[in-house]
C-alpha cells in the first residue's frame, strides 16, 4: 500500500505532463504536416536541431526567451529542407525524412565540437525557462488539477494553448481547410486555384517550428544544457501519438499524455519496486506501450488520403 | 435543341499547342464557343480533349497559342485566373475532398468570412440558395463520401456555379452515371443553358453528342479532325471522323445457346467485403458453354467480391462453386488456373499486368511455371527464348501494337495492355472466362476489337461471365443479363426483351422488392 502511494500520487501526474510536453508539441506539428499530405519522420532530427540552437541562443545572449525563438526558427529552417525535397523535388517522404534525421545528428555533433570543443554535453546555462515557472493565481490552488495544469513552466502552458489553437485552426480557418484538402485530395485544391505546394510547405514548416519548440523544452526548460541524443526517440513516439490520436490535435495531446504517463511511471517503478528485476525492463515500458498503442489503434484511425503521396500538376493523359 | 452559331463568341482558343516531354498532346487546335450553346468535344482516349481543357482551365500552360475571352486575349497562369474570368470545370474524376462536407467543398478556395476565418453560416446559406435556384437538391452538411456519384456530380456543378461560372466544362460527365442519372444531368445542363451558361462537354460517347449538343469538334491524335453542327451528321460519320476509319458500332452476335449442362454452377454463395459485411448474398448462377452471362449493376453492389470469390482471391463464407461438376469453392487460385479457368481483372494496372515487366513476361504470367513448351525439363529454369517466340506469335495474332515483346508493358497504350491480358488468357484455351470491366477507359476501336474477341471464344463454346459497369457493353455482349443490387441478383433479362432504361431501374433498386421472390 505504501509502495502504491509512493507511485500513484499527484507528483506522478505532474511528471506525466512534464514528460509528455515535447511529445505533444511534436505530435501536433506532425499532425498538421501529415494533414497537408507530407509524411515527416524527421521530427526527431528537427527536435535535436531545435534543442541545440535553443541552448546556443540562451547561452550566448543570456536570455532563454531568445533561445526559444532561435530554436523555433532553426527547427523551421531545417524543416524547409524536407519541404524542398518532398514537395519541390518530389523525393520520397520517408527517404528524405530518414536522411534529415541522420543529417541533424551529424550537423549538431559537428557544431558541438566547433562551439564547445567536444561532443556529448554542453556547458550549463545559468538562466533557463524553468526560472519562469508560474503558478496561476487561484487556479493553481485547486487540489490535484492545480499543480498538474496551473503551476507549470512556459512551454508547457504554450503546449496547452497550441492544442486549442491548432484544433481551431483546422476547424475554422481558411488556411486550415486548405491544408486538410491538400492532404486529402490535392488536385481538388489545385483546380480551384489554391497552390498545393504552398499548403504543403506551410504544413512542413509548422511541424519544424513545433519540433523546434519541443527541442527548446528539452534543453532550456526541462534541463539547463544540451546533450547529444537527449530527444531519446521522442520524435518517433510523437508520430505514434499522432497516429493513435487519429491525426487530430486533441487526439495527439491525449495520446501524448498517455506516453508521458508511461514514462513517468517507469521512472517511479524503477525506484519503488524492490524486486530483482533489471531496471532496463522498466525503461522500455513507454516504447512497448507505443508499439501496443499503435498496433491497437492504428486500424481504427484513418490517415489523410493523400498522406505520403507526391503531387505534380502536369501529366500527359 | 437547334444549332445557333452566329451569336457572340464567348471563348476562342487559337493555335493551341501543348507539348509534353514525350507526347504532342495538342497540335495547333482552334475552337470557338458561342454564347448559350452546348458544344461537344468528341474524341478517343488520348486524343487530347482533356489536355486541351486543362490548358483552357489554366491547369496546364500551353506551349504556344492563345485564348480569347469575349474577344480579348487572356493568359491563365493557374485555375484561379480561369475561375475569376468565369470558367468552371467538372472533372472526370471528381475534385471533391471526401471527408469534408458539401458546403466545405463548394466554398473551398473562395470561403466567405474575414481575417482568415470561415463564416460557415453565410456559406451554408449561399449553398442553399444556389441549390434552390438551379434545382440541384443536396444537403449542405452531408459528408461527400456518404453521397452517391450522381449527387457528387451535383456538388461539382454547384462548385462551379458558386464561382459564378458562365462557361462550364464537363469532362466525361456520364462515365459513372446510371441511365436515370444521365437523364437528370441532361435536364440540369439544359436548365443551365437556359440561364445563359455556355457548356462544353468532353466525351467519347456518340449518343451524348447527338442527344445534347448543338455543335461538335472532333479531335483525333491531338488535332481537330472535324467540325460540324451536330444535327447535320450521323453517328457513323462522327465515329469515322473520331477513329479515322470505318468502325462497326455494334458487333453482331451469332449462334444460339447450347442446352449442355452448365460449366459453372454457383449455389447460395455468401461473400464478405473488406469491412466484414456481407457483399454477396445467397447468390445462385449457372453459366453454360457458349453463353455470355452479363452482370449489370452500379459499382459497389458486390460485383468485385463476386469476381474475387470465383477467382478464389477472397474467402467464401458459405455456398458452393462448381466447375464442370467439381467443387472448386476452396481451391487455390493456382489450381483454378490449372483447370483452365481464365480471368481478365477489372484493374489491369494493379491485377492484370506487372507494368514494369516486359510484354513477353506478362504474356506468360501465371502460366510461366507449368507450360512445357516454355520450361526446361525440370521446370526450374524458364526458357526465355521460347517465351519470346510464343509472345511474338500472340502479338501478331492479337494485333498488339508494341515496339517489341521486350518492352515494358507499362509503355503500351491502355487498349494494347488489355490485348496483352486477353491474349495471355485466351492462348491457354480456357473453358471458363471471367471478364470484369474489359473495356474500361478504352476507345471505340479497342472496344470493338476486345468485344469481337470475347464473342469469338463464346462461339467456340467457352462459358463467359461478364461483369461490367457499362450497360452498353452488357447489352452488346450478353446472352443473358442478370442485375446485381446490394449483393443479390434481383432480376434476369434477355437483352432483346428489355432496354437500358428498364435494367437501369433495377440497378438502382427501383424495383428491388422482387429480389426475394426466387
Q: Does residue A316 sit at the B interface (CB-CB below 8 Å)?
A: yes
DSSP label at residue B40: E
Within 10 Å of residue B73's Cβ, how many Cβ atoms? 10
Mean pLDDT, rounded, for B437-461? 87
Which pLDDT score, from 0 to 100, does residue B514 have?
45
- Taken in order of first residue, the domains within chain B and their CATH numbers are 9-243 (3.40.50.300), 248-340+429-518 (3.40.50.300), 349-428 (no CATH)
Q: Which residue has the higher pLDDT, B28 or A270?
A: B28
Q: How confident is the model at residue B518 (pLDDT cuts 50, 70, 90)?
A: very low
Q: With a cut of 50, say whether residue A316 has pLDDT above it.
A: no
Mean pLDDT, rounded, for B192-212? 89
d(C-alpha B442, C-alpha A164), whole Å:
51
- Which residues in A lie closer than 8 A to residue B51 (C-beta atoms)? 316-317
Which residue of A177, A178, A193 is in closest CB contact with B78?
A: A193
Q: Which residues of B378-392 are buried (b: 16+ CB within 10 A; e: fewer)?
A: eeeebeeebbbebbb
- Which residues in B lie closer than 8 A to residue A187 (C-beta atoms)? 95
Within 10 Å of residue B162's Cβ, how many Cβ atoms? 23
Q: How confident is the model at residue B379 (pLDDT cuts 50, 70, 90)?
A: low
Q: Does residue B95 sit at the A interface (CB-CB below 8 Å)?
A: yes
Tell me, rounded to whole angstroms, the distance of Cα A84 from its chain centroid: 21
Phi, psi of A40 (to 5 degrees): -125, 95
The interface pTM score, or ipTM, of the predicted complex is 0.88
Which pLDDT score, from 0 to 100, does residue A317 have?
42
Choice among A2-16, A42-56, A179-193 with the minimum mean pLDDT: A2-16
Using DSSP's 3-state secondary structure scheme, residue B64 falls into strand
Backbone φ/ψ region at B113: left (φ over 0), alpha (ψ -120 to 50), beta: left
* Crossing angle for the helix pair A249-272 and A234-244, to the nearest 10 degrees: 130
Strands (E), A151-221: 151-152
- Which A positions 274-313 lie with beta carbon below 8 A of chain B? 302, 305, 313
Q: Give B92-148 pLDDT, tens digit per residue.
A: 889 999 999 999 999 999 999 998 999 999 999 999 999 998 888 899 999 998 888
Q: With a cut of 90, say whether residue B75 has pLDDT above it.
A: yes
Q: With a cut of 60, say whether residue A62 has pLDDT above it.
A: yes
Q: How confident is the model at residue B412 (pLDDT cuts 50, 70, 90)?
A: confident
Mean pLDDT, rounded, for A183-195? 93
Q: Give B226-272 pLDDT, tens digit per residue.
A: 999 999 988 888 888 887 776 665 656 655 556 788 999 999 999 99
Which pLDDT score, from 0 to 100, does residue B370 have?
64
Q: With a cut of 60, say whether residue A30 has pLDDT above it.
A: yes
**Cβ proximity of B361 and B354 under 8 Å:** yes
Burial of residue A125, with CB atoms counted within 10 A of its CB: 0-12 exposed, 13-18 middle, 19 or more buried = buried
Residue B61 C-alpha cell reads as 500552360
Which residue of B50, B95, B111 is in closest CB contact with A188?
A: B95
- Which residues in A lie closer than 8 A to residue B78 (C-beta atoms)? 193, 195
Q: Do B98 and A172 touch (CB under 8 A)?
A: no
Residue A53 C-alpha cell reads as 540552437
Report in angstroms the alpha-carbon separations of B472 from A300, B93, B418, B448: 40, 21, 19, 12
Which pLDDT score, from 0 to 100, does residue B517 have?
38
Which helix H or strand E contains B49, and what residues bound it?
helix B49-56
The string of DSSP letters for A106-142 reads: HHHHHHHHHHHSSSSBPPPPSS-GGGG-EE-TTGGGS
Chains A–B, number of C-beta pairs less than 8 Å apart = 92
Mean pLDDT of chain A: 92
Best to test chain B binding among A169, A182, A192, A198 (most B CBs inside 10 Å): A192
* Crossing angle for the helix pair A43-61 and A64-83, to the nearest 10 degrees: 150
Report in angstroms the alpha-carbon separations of B228 from A62, B207, B233, B295: 80, 15, 7, 37
Within 10 Å of residue A304's Cβ, how many Cβ atoms? 24
d(C-alpha B5, C-alpha A20), whole Å:
70
Q: With a cut of 60, say whether residue B398 has pLDDT above it.
A: yes
- What residues contact residue B189 under an 8 Å CB cut-off, 6+ apart? B38, B170, B199, B201, B212
d(C-alpha B138, C-alpha A313), whole Å:
30
Residue A202 C-alpha cell reads as 506551410
Shortest CA gap B496–chain A (Å) = 37
Within 10 Å of residue B187's Cβ, how many Cβ atoms? 11
- What residues contact residue B338 under an 8 Å CB cut-off, 6+ apart? B370
Q: Do A193 and B80 touch (CB under 8 A)?
A: yes
Q: What is the pTM of this model?
A: 0.80
Rg (Cα) of chain B, in Å, rounded?
25
Spatial CA neighbour of B36 closest among B134, B157, B167: B167
Mean pLDDT, rounded, for B443-449? 82
Sheet bearing B24-34, strands edge to edge: B24-34, B9-19, B64-69, B72-74
Spatial CA neighbour of B172 closest among B440, B505, B447, B475: B440
Which pLDDT score, from 0 to 100, does residue B509 have?
78
Q: Which residues of B315-343 are buried (b: 16+ CB within 10 A; e: fewer)?
A: ebeebebbbbeeebbebeeeebbeeebbb
Q: Do B78 and A180 touch (CB under 8 A)?
A: no
Residue A12 C-alpha cell reads as 506522478
Q: Which residue has the higher pLDDT, B43 or A166?
A: A166
Mean pLDDT of chain B: 87
Spatial CA neighbour of A125 closest among A68, A189, A174, A44: A68
Which residue of A181, A187, A195 is in closest CB contact with B108?
A: A181
- Classify domain A2-125+161-297 by CATH architecture: Orthogonal Bundle (1.10)
**Cβ proximity of B199 and B34 under 8 Å:** no
- Which residues in A lie closer than 8 A to residue B415 (C-beta atoms)? none
Q: Cell 446490394 belongs to which residue?
A: B486
Phi, psi of B38 (to 5 degrees): -110, 115
Best to test chain A binding among B97, B158, B222 (most A CBs inside 10 Å): B97
Report in angstroms the alpha-carbon separations of B153 from A181, B102, B144, B407, B508: 18, 11, 10, 39, 17
CA atoms within 13 A on the CB side of B91: 16
Q: With a cut of 70, say whether residue A167 has pLDDT above it.
A: yes
d(C-alpha A59, C-alpha A225), whole Å:
9
Mean pLDDT, rounded, for A77-100? 97
Which pLDDT score, from 0 to 100, does residue B202 have?
92
- Which residues in B lie closer than 8 A to residue A188 (C-beta atoms)? 94-97, 105, 108
Q: How many residues appear in chain A?
A: 317
Shortest CA gap A178–chain B (Å) = 7
Mean pLDDT, rounded, for A39-68? 97
- Which B positions 73-92 lie with beta carbon below 8 A of chain A? 78-81, 83-84, 89, 91
Q: How confident is the model at residue A175 (pLDDT cuts 50, 70, 90)?
A: very high
Amino acid at each position: 500500500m505504501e509502495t502504491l502511494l509512493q507511485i500513484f500520487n499527484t507528483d506522478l501526474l505532474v511528471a506525466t505532463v512534464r514528460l509528455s510536453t515535447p511529445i505533444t508539441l511534436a505530435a501536433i506539428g506532425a499532425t498538421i504536416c501529415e494533414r497537408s499530405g507530407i509524411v515527416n519522420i524527421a521530427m526527431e532530427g528537427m527536435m535535436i536541431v531545435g534543442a541545440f540552437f535553443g541552448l546556443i541562443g540562451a547561452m550566448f545572449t543570456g536570455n532563454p526567451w531568445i533561445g526559444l525563438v532561435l530554436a523555433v526558427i532553426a527547427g523551421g529552417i531545417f524543416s524547409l529542407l524536407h519541404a524542398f525535397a518532398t514537395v519541390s523535388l518530389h523525393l520520397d517522404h520517408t527517404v528524405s525524412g530518414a536522411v534529415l534525421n541522420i543529417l541533424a545528428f551529424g550537423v549538431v555533433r559537428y557544431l558541438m565540437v566547433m562551439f564547445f570543443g567536444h561532443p556529448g554535453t554542453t556547458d550549463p546555462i545559468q538562466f533557463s525557462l524553468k526560472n519562469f515557472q508560474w503558478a496561476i493565481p487561484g487556479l493553481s490552488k485547486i487540489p490535484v488539477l492545480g499543480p498538474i495544469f496551473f503551476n507549470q513552466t512556459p512551454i508547457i502552458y504554450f503546449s496547452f494553448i497550441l492544442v486549442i489553437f491548432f484544433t481551431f485552426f483546422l476547424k475554422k480557418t481558411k488556411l486550415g481547410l486548405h491544408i486538410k484538402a491538400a492532404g486529402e485530395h490535392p488536385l481538388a485544391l489545385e483546380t480551384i486555384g489554391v497552390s498545393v505546394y504552398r499548403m504543403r510547405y506551410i504544413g512542413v514548416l509548422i511541424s519544424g517550428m513545433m519540433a523546434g519548440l519541443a527541442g527548446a523544452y528539452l534543453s532550456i526548460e526541462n534541463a539547463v544544457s544540451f546533450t547529444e541524443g537527449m530527444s531519446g526517440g521522442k520524435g518517433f513516439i510523437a508520430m505514434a501519438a499522432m497516429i493513435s490520436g487519429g491525426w487530430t490535435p486533441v487526439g495527439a495531446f491525449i495520446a501524448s499524455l498517455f506516453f508521458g504517463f508511461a514514462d513517468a511511471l517507469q521512472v517511479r517503478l524503477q525506484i519503488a519496486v524492490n524486486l530483482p528485476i533489471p531496471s532496463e525492463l522498466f525503461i522500455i515500458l513507454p516504447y512497448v506501450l507505443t508499439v501496443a498503442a499503435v498496433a491497437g489503434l492504428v486500424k481504427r484511425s484513418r490517415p489523410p488520403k493523400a498522406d505520403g503521396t507526391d503531387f505534380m500538376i502536369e501529366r500527359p493523359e | 435543341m437547334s444549332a445557333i452559331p452566329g451569336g457572340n463568341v464567348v471563348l476562342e482558343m487559337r493555335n493551341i499547342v501543348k507539348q509534353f516531354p514525350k507526347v504532342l498532346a495538342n497540335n495547333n487546335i482552334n475552337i470557338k464557343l458561342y454564347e448559350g450553346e452546348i458544344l461537344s468535344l468528341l474524341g478517343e482516349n488520348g486524343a487530347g480533349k482533356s489536355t486541351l481543357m486543362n490548358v483552357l482551365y489554366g491547369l496546364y500552360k500551353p506551349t504556344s497559342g492563345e485564348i480569347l475571352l469575349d474577344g480579348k486575349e487572356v493568359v491563365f497562369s493557374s485555375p484561379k485566373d480561369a475561375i475569376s474570368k468565369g470558367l468552371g470545370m467538372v472533372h472526370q474524376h471528381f475534385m471533391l475532398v471526401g471527408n469534408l462536407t458539401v458546403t466545405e467543398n463548394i466554398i473551398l478556395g473562395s470561403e466567405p468570412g474575414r481575417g482568415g476565418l470561415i463564416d460557415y453560416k453565410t456559406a451554408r446559406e449561399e449553398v442553399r440558395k444556389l441549390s434552390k435556384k438551379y434545382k440541384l437538391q443536396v444537403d449542405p452538411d452531408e459528408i461527400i463520401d456518404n453521397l452517391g456519384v450522381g449527387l457528387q456530380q451535383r456538388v461539382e456543378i454547384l462548385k462551379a456555379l458558386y464561382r459564378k461560372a458562365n462557361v462550364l466544362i464537363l469532362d466525361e460527365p456520364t462515365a459513372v452515371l446510371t441511365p436515370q442519372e444521365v437523364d437528370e444531368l441532361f435536364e440540369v445542363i439544359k436548365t443551365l443553358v437556359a440561364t445563359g451558361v455556355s457548356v462544353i462537354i468532353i466525351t467519347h460517347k456518340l449518343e451524348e453528342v447527338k442527344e445534347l449538343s448543338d455543335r461538335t469538334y472532333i479531335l483525333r491524335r491531338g488535332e481537330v479532325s472535324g467540325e460540324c453542327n451536330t444535327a447535320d451528321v450521323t453517328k457513323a460519320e462522327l465515329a469515322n471522323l473520331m477513329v479515322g476509319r470505318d468502325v462497326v458500332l455494334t458487333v453482331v452476335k451469332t449462334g444460339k445457346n447450347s442446352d449442355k449442362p452448365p460449366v459453372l454452377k454457383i449455389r447460395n454463395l455468401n461473400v464478405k467485403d473488406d469491412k466484414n459485411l456481407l457483399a454477396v448474398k445467397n447468390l445462385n448462377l449457372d453459366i453454360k458453354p457458349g453463353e455470355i452471362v452479363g452482370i449489370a449493376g452500379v459499382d459497389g453492389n458486390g460485383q468485385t467480391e463476386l469476381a474475387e470469390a470465383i477467382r478464389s482471391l477472397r474467402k467464401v463464407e458459405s455456398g458452393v462453386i462448381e466447375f464442370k461438376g467439381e467443387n472448386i469453392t476452396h481451391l487455390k487460385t493456382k489450381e483454378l488456373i490449372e483447370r483452365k479457368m481464365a480471368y481478365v481483372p477489372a484493374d489491369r494496372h494493379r491485377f492484370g499486368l506487372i507494368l514494369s515487366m516486359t510484354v513477353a513476361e506478362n504474356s506468360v504470367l501465371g502460366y510461366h511455371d507449368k507450360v512445357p513448351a516454355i520450361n526446361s525439363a525440370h521446370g526450374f529454369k524458364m526458357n526465355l527464348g521460347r517465351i519470346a517466340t510464343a509472345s511474338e506469335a500472340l502479338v501478331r495474332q492479337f494485333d498488339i501494337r508494341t515496339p517489341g515483346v521486350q518492352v515494358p508493358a507499362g509503355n503500351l497504350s491502355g487498349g494494347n495492355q488489355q490485348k496483352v491480358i486477353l491474349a495471355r488468357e485466351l492462348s491457354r484455351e480456357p473453358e471458363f472466362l471471367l471478364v470484369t470491366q474489359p473495356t474500361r477507359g478504352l476507345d471505340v476501336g479497342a472496344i470493338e476489337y476486345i468485344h469481337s474477341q470475347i464473342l469469338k471464344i463464346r462461339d467456340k463454346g467457352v462459358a463467359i461471365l461478364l461483369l461490367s459497369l457499362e450497360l452498353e457493353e452488357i447489352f452488346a455482349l450478353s446472352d443473358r443479363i442478370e442485375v446485381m443490387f446490394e449483393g443479390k441478383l434481383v432480376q434476369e433479362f434477355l437483352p432483346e426483351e428489355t432496354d437500358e432504361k428498364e435494367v437501369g431501374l433495377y440497378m438502382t433498386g427501383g424495383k428491388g422488392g422482387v429480389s426475394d421472390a426466387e
